[in-house]
C-alpha cells in the first residue's frame, strides 16, 4: 500500500477555488469574523456550567444509586457535547483568532478523557486529509475484525450480525480513548500510513499527567466522596462512558458511513484520481440540517460537509455557509449528500452495516 497519497485531478480543483471565494465574500460583505460570536460564547458557557453542575450533583447531591447512574449518563452526554462544540473547534483553530484561547479550550479535551495532541494528529491531519480511504483513515477502523465499514476489508462470518452488535460497541469508544487508544497511538510509528512525528517532551508529560488527573477526578474522588460501593462507582463510570461513546460514535458514523458515501482507493502510485475538495464531498454526508437542536448539541457536525471543507471556521457559521456550498456543488455537478433527519441517517447507517456484513 502506498504510504504517500496525492489528489491528482487538478481539473476539478476549480470547485474549491470557487466555493472558497464565495465564502470569503460572505464574511467580507457582512464584516463578520470567521470565529466565535456571541451565540457561540453563550453555548460554550452553557455546556461548561452544565458539566460543573452535573459533576457537583453527583458528588454532593443526596441521590440514590439509580439517580446517580442517570446523572452519570447525562454527564457522559455533556462531555460529548463539550467535545463537539468547544474542543473540536478549538483544536482546529476555528474557535478564536487568538491561538492562546484555542489552546486553553483544547485542554478541556483532557477532561472528557481524550488527549488533544493525539487527536490533532489522527483527526486534523490524517482523517481530514485521507477521509474514508481504507488503510489511511483510521477513523473508519472502529473495531477491526468486528465491524466492517468498507467493502475493501475482508469479511468474517460473525459480521453478518454487525448491524445488531455495532451500536453497543460504539458505546465503548470513549472508554477506549481513556484507557487504551491514546497511549497506543502516541507510541505507534505511524497512524494509517502517516508517520508519527517525534513528540516534544512536554507532550509525554501532558499525556500521563492529564490522564492521571482524569483518573483522579472520575475514579478516585467518587470513591472517596460517594457513600456507595466500589462496584457502583465502577458501574457509574462505565455508564457515563457508554453514553459518551455512543454519542461520539454515532455522530461520526452518520457523517461518513451512510448510503452514498464513497471509500475510494488510490492507484499503485498512490494517486487518488480526484481533487481533494471533491473527495470530501464524495466521502461525507450531512444529517438533520434543519434541526436547531441537533446543530446546538452536535457543534455543527451535522453539517459535516461544511466542516470538512472549512475546518478552521467556527461551526456557528455553518448554517449560513451550507447554502453557498450546496449551490456551488450543484453548479459543478458534484454530490451534496444529506439525510434530512437523524432517524433517516441512523436507518441509512444500519442498512450499510447490514449490507457490508454480508
pLDDT mean over 103-128: 91
> Based on the structure, what is the number of domains in the chain?
1
Tell me the residue range of the domain where 187 lies: 6-356
pLDDT digit string (tens) for 9-65?
766 679 999 999 999 999 999 999 999 999 999 999 999 999 999 999 999 988 999
Is residue 103 within 8 A of residue 206, CB to CB? The reply is no
| 7 pLDDT more than 90 | no
Q: Could you give the C-alpha distances from 6 to 134, 190, 275, 284, 317, in angstroms and in order?
A: 15, 18, 9, 19, 30
pLDDT number for residue 214? 97
* In the block, residue with C-alpha cell 457502583: 232
Name the grid cell of 231: 462496584
pLDDT digit string (tens) for 242-300?
999 999 999 999 999 999 998 888 887 778 888 899 999 999 999 999 999 999 999 99
d(CA 246, CA 168) in angstroms, rounded, equals 7
Q: What angle do CA 126, 128, 134 make, to 5 degrees?
A: 60
Report yes or no on 1 lying in a domain. no
Name the grid cell of 287: 444529517
pLDDT number for residue 135? 78
Q: Could you give the C-alpha distances from 225 to 217, 219, 260, in angstroms and in order?
A: 11, 10, 50
pLDDT number for residue 6? 80
d(CA 37, CA 319) in angstroms, rounded, equals 14
Report yes or no on 236 lying in a domain. yes
Torsions phi, psi of 338, nearest 5? -155, 130
pLDDT number for residue 11? 67
CA nearest neighbour of 277 among 199, 207, 329, 214: 329
pLDDT digit string (tens) for 174-226?
999 999 999 999 998 887 777 888 899 999 999 999 999 999 999 999 999 99
| 3-class SS shares of the chain: helix, strand, coil, % to 5 | 65, 5, 30
Confidence bin at 144 (pLDDT 50/70/90)? confident
DSSP string, 115-139: -HHHHIIIIIIIIHHSTT-TTT-GG
69-73, 130-134, 354-358 — most confident range: 69-73
User: Residues in the chain, how many?
Assistant: 358
Q: What angle do CA 81, 209, 243 make, to 5 degrees?
A: 25
Query: What mean pLDDT value characterizes the chain?
Result: 92
d(CA 98, CA 136) in angstroms, rounded, equals 32
| 131 pLDDT more than 60 | yes
| 139 pLDDT more than 80 | no
| 2 pLDDT more than 70 | no
pLDDT number for residue 140? 75
* DSSP state for residue 155 in the 8-state scheme: P
Amino acid at each position: 500500500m502506498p504510504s504517500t497519497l496525492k489528489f491528482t485531478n487538478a481539473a476539478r480543483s476549480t470547485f474549491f477555488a470557487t466555493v472558497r471565494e464565495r465564502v470569503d465574500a460572505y464574511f467580507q460583505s457582512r464584516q463578520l469574523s470567521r470565529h466565535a460570536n456571541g451565540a457561540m460564547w453563550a453555548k460554550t458557557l452553557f455546556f461548561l456550567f452544565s458539566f460543573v453542575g452535573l459533576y457537583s450533583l453527583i458528588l454532593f447531591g443526596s441521590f440514590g444509586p439509580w439517580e446517580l447512574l442517570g446523572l452519570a449518563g447525562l454527564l457522559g452526554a455533556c462531555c460529548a457535547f463539550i467535545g463537539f462544540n468547544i474542543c473540536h473547534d478549538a483544536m482546529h483553530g476555528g474557535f478564536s483568532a487568538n491561538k492562546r484561547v484555542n489552546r486553553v479550550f483544547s485542554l478541556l479535551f483532557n477532561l472528557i478523557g481524550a488527549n488533544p495532541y493525539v487527536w490533532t494528529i489522527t483527526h486534523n491531519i490524517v482523517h481530514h486529509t485521507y477521509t474514508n480511504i481504507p488503510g489511511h483513515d483510521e477513523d473508519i477502523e472502529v473495531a477491526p475484525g468486528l465491524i466492517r465499514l468498507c467493502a475493501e476489508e475482508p469479511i468474517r462470518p460473525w459480521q453478518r450480525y454487525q448491524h445488531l452488535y455495532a451500536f453497543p460497541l460504539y458505546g465503548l469508544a470513549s472508554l477506549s480513548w481513556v484507557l487504551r487508544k491514546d497511549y497506543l497511538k502516541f507510541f505507534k510509528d505511524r497512524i494509517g500510513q502517516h508517520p508519527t512525528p517525534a513528540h516534544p517532551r512536554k507532550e509525554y508529560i501532558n499525556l500521563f499527567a492529564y490522564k492521571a488527573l482524569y483518573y483522579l477526578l472520575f475514579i478516585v474522588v467518587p470513591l472517596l466522596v460517594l457513600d456507595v460501593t466500589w462496584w457502583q462507582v465502577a458501574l457509574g463510570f462505565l455508564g457515563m462512558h457508554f453514553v459518551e461513546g455512543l454519542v461520539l460514535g454515532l455522530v461520526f458514523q452518520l457523517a461518513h458511513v451512510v448510503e452514498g458515501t464513497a471509500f475510494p482507493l488510490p492507484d499503485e502510485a498512490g494517486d487518488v484520481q480526484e481533487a481533494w475538495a471533491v473527495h470530501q464531498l464524495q466521502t461525507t454526508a450531512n444529517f438533520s440540517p434543519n434541526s436547531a437542536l441537533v446543530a446546538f448539541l452536535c457543534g455543527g457536525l451535522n453539517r459535516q460537509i461544511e466542516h470538512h471543507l472549512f475546518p478552521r471556521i467556527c461551526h456557528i457559521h455553518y448554517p449560513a455557509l451550507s447554502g453557498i456550498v450546496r449551490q456551488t456543488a450543484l453548479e459543478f455537478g458534484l454530490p451534496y449528500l444529506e439525510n434530512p433527519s437523524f432517524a433517516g441517517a441512523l436507518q441509512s447507517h444500519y442498512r450499510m452495516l447490514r449490507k457490508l456484513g454480508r
